[in-house]
Amino acid sequence: MLDPKLLRNQPEQIAAQLRRRGFELDVEQLTRLEAERKQLQIQTQQLQSERNSSAKAIGQAKAKGEDIQPLLQAVSDLKSRLDAAEARLGELQEEINSIVMGIPNVPHETVPDGTSEEDNVEIRRWGNLPEFDFEPRDHVDLGAALGQMDFETAAKITGSRFSLLSGPLARLHRALIQFMLDLHTGEHGYTETYVPYLVNAESLRGTGQLPKFGQDLFKLEGEHEYYLIPTAEVPVTNILRNDIVDAGQMPLKYVAHTPCFRSEAGSYGKDTRGMIRQHQFEKVEMVQAVRPEESWQVLEQLTNHAETVLQKLGLPYRVVALCAGDLGFSAAKTYDLEVWLPGQQKYREISSCSNFGEFQARRMKARWRDPETGKPELLHTLNGSGLAVGRTLVAVMENYQQESGAIRVPEVLLGYMGGVEVIGSKASL
RNA sequence: GGAGGGUUGGCUGAGCGGUUGAAAGCACCGGUCUUGAAAACCGGCAUGGGUUCACGCCCAUCCAGGGUUCGAAUCCCUGACCCUCCGCCA
């Protein structure tokens, strides 16, 4: 949520910034509603003030034993006028609020211009692309040949966009999770958290998935209005909702592994092959809550934390700055990490690291006490995948494949693999 | 599933329907004292909104939403969440 004061006082400037990301702010409508609200609010408050003072006068008169009938007479029609004013004000505020909740974050000045993925800007590359003296296969072929990745059976159990892993490949998947958590807790200073995988609507509003993107979510039927989490960002960031954090505890750094559930509505026909785009996938997510003045520096650090995972796994990648038009709803700036997939001969997104500034914090009233002022102030939130586990598995399979179709286990994962060094060798079966 | 109890400021915790936006304690900030610190003492200290050049003034907020009333933290209804006991259970 943007600062309502800013929205009120300089709507044109904000509209210009939002236009960069392709969002058209109806300034005329907003200023009209605001003017109306203001006038109505003043009027309502005057009536309330009148009610309060007359009620007080009646109380005092009664205490002195005076006759209160004339006073009661005087306020007889106040109530109806006040009720009407309050009702209209409430409607108006609701209307304004629903508009404001639907306005995306303003892109940071360093975010490149552009309207789509095509305009994203490559920042840096790491690693050498693997060279094969055979035609590299993609993870679907590799997995099928191994007999350890089975989309048909997953479709039987549930439907499309689910996967079934087995044997050493399933273990490799788990090993990646352990490795990532150990790395972020052990070397990057994050606190491991275990969180609910079902969340309420308020939490989704806090991080920005609602009210606009309900169609991307799986919603439970039944007694409770609960949703499956689309990312750990939702439960982890909402730890701070309605909280005031002591300055001494900052920065707060959380890491969590969770499954993520996405309906992928509107992505029909896109990435239908393999594990790239699934309704259910595992992700290790880093979340930070920091002092406002630190957030831009922290975004760079957090991105580096995600990069470290790829570096340790020896997976070549590039870092891309999303252009304004490609930014997510709540983000002020985002770096995507794209890993090299030999099977597709392409870089594919494997992590997304964003600074949300105070956008999420304002929605969820996540604050910290600034020792300078002694006042509670909005903190800044950031998060990044560290990493998407399914896609990392894909990347490992494709980059570490052998001509035989076997998969060599990356060095850093050996300790998690119970002695398996090559998946698909006789020894692993 | 059954029966009770609860939700008040950063925290703990009082609160007869009428100067209660809210006692008290803790925490925090400032001051006195002290060589310094602690202790003691004095003072300050909720959030959001409106208005003012400013001092200030006004409005809202005691889980949420309705209701009763001239007036609600306080009474009534509904809901959410938490706790205790019983039952069931990984």
Regarding predicted confidence, which is higher, A404 or A224? Answer: A404
The CA dihedral of A196, A256, A111, A34, to the nearest 10 degrees, is: 20
CA atom of A252 to C1′ atom of B84, Å: 34
Catalytic residue selected from A86, A349, A377, A421: A349
| Strand B nucleotides in reach of protein CB atoms, 7 A cut-off | 10, 18-19, 28-29, 46-51, 58-60, 66, 70-71, 81
Residue type, A133: D
What pLDDT score was predicted for residue A427? Answer: 56
Catalytic residue selected from A88, A125, A174, A277: A277
What pLDDT score was predicted for residue A369? Answer: 85
Q: Is A56 (CB) below 7 Å from strand B? A: yes
pLDDT tens column, A280-318: 999 999 999 999 999 999 999 999 999 999 999 999 999
Mean pLDDT of A55-82: 83
pLDDT tens column, A147-171: 999 999 999 999 999 999 999 999 9
Q: Is A51 (CB) below 7 Å from strand B? A: yes
CA atom of A243 to C1′ atom of B63, Å: 15
Q: What is the C-alpha radius of gyration for chain A, rounded to an integer number of angstroms?
A: 27
Q: Is A84 (CB) below 7 Å from strand B? A: no
Indicate left, alpha or beta for A405 from its phi (over 0: left) and psi (-120 to 50: alpha): left
With 70 as the cut, is the pLDDT of residue A429 above it?
no
Token pair 């009702």 is found at A87
Q: Is A38 (CB) below 7 Å from strand B? A: yes
For residue A386, give both structure tokens. Answer: 């560290």
Work out the pLDDT band at A425, boundaries 50, 70, 90. Answer: confident
What pLDDT score was predicted for residue A428? Answer: 55
With 60 as the cut, is the pLDDT of residue A418 above it?
yes
Length of chain A equals 429
Work out the pLDDT band at A26, boundaries 50, 70, 90. Answer: very high
Q: How far apart, in whole angstroms, are the C-alpha atoms of residue A379 and residue A328?
A: 20
What pLDDT score was predicted for residue A426? Answer: 63
pLDDT tens column, A385-415: 999 999 999 999 999 999 999 999 999 999 9
CA atom of A40 to C1′ atom of B52, Å: 20
Q: Is A242 (CB) below 7 Å from strand B? A: no
Catalytic residue selected from A161, A262, A363, A367: A262
Closest-lying nucleotide for A244 based on CA to C1': B10
